Amino acid sequence: MVFSYSSITKKVIMALAGLFLIMFLFVHLTVNLLVLINDGGETFNKAAHFMVTNPLIQFMQIFLFGGILLHIITGLILQIQNWMARPQRYKVEAYSEKSPFSKFMIHTGAIILAVLIYHLYNFFFQAKFGHIDAVTYNGLEYEDMGKLVLEKFSHLSHVLIYVGWLLFLGFHLDHAFHSGLQSLGLNHNKYTPAIFTLSRIIAIVLTVGFILIPLVIYFYR
């Protein structure tokens, strides 16, 4: 059981799952940016169709949801152990080298999870268990996922929820990548500044990339 592993093991599990989730986010962003192509959703729908029908990608989804669960469970346990070890919340560690968001990983993580459930309900569960209109390209039928995305982001309330969510994701990611490498022992003092910069670049690219989707759809479609 993950509960009985040492803190180091839990940190390694959490880091591996977290780094895998960052990889997923890059793939997810790339596919979703296709919805911005002004071709009636054809490119995006074909890419989304490939993602839900390709057996290898469907197999990887087990690791994706497993990774999300492991990341949450290990993160929660480590945080609880941390609180119990320091009841006065006394911090001796210097934060000078850390992301300003490093102290709030559990808080940003909880917000990301809450809205992720809402996000899965909006898209993933609709695709799996709900109804998505069909569209035909060259005689082949596809789910019109693009239409659903455009419809969702035509509402300001929805756009605001997503922009807020994605900003919290960005704050979380700012500390995530270099912290993950550190847990895996892949850091070296010589490379620390470069890894911090890379971590921030990853956070900015993913956040700005995802935020562009609701904003461009709301203002230009």
List residues binding ligand HEM (CB under 6 A): 28, 32, 48, 52, 112, 116, 119-120, 123-124, 127, 145, 149, 162, 166, 169, 210, 213-214
In this complex, which beta carbon is closest to ligand HEM, that of residue 5 or of residue 16?
A: 16
In this complex, which beta carbon is closest to ligand HEM, that of residue 52 or of residue 192?
A: 52
In this complex, which beta carbon is closest to ligand HEM, that of residue 72 or of residue 192?
A: 72
Query: In this chain, which residue has its C-beta nearest to ligand HEM?
Result: 123
DSSP lists the bridge partners of residue 142 as: 135
Kindly state the smallest distance separating residue 191's Cβ from ligand HEM, in Å: 27
**Count of helix runs (H) and strand runs (E) in the chain:** 8, 2
In eight-state DSSP terms, residue 37 is S
Kindly state the smallest distance separating residue 43's Cβ from ligand HEM, in Å: 14
What is Dmax (Cα atoms) for the chain? 66
In this complex, which beta carbon is closest to ligand HEM, that of residue 112 or of residue 203?
A: 112
Kindly state the smallest distance separating residue 124's Cβ from ligand HEM, in Å: 4
Kindly state the smallest distance separating residue 119's Cβ from ligand HEM, in Å: 5
In this complex, which beta carbon is closest to ligand HEM, that of residue 115 or of residue 192?
A: 115
Kindly state the smallest distance separating residue 86's Cβ from ligand HEM, in Å: 29
Dihedral sign computed on CA atoms, order 153, 174, 116, 104: negative
Instruction: Report the C-alpha gap between 53 and 57 in whole angstroms.
Output: 8
Instruction: Report the C-alpha gap between 43 and 81 in whole angstroms.
Output: 47
In this complex, which beta carbon is closest to ligand HEM, that of residue 180 or of residue 214?
A: 214
Instruction: Report the C-alpha gap between 189 and 193 in whole angstroms.
Output: 8
Q: What are phi and psi of 185, to 5 degrees?
A: 70, 25
Kindly state the smallest distance separating residue 184's Cβ from ligand HEM, in Å: 21
Q: Among residues 216, 208, 192, 206, which one has the least CA distance to residue 25?
A: 206
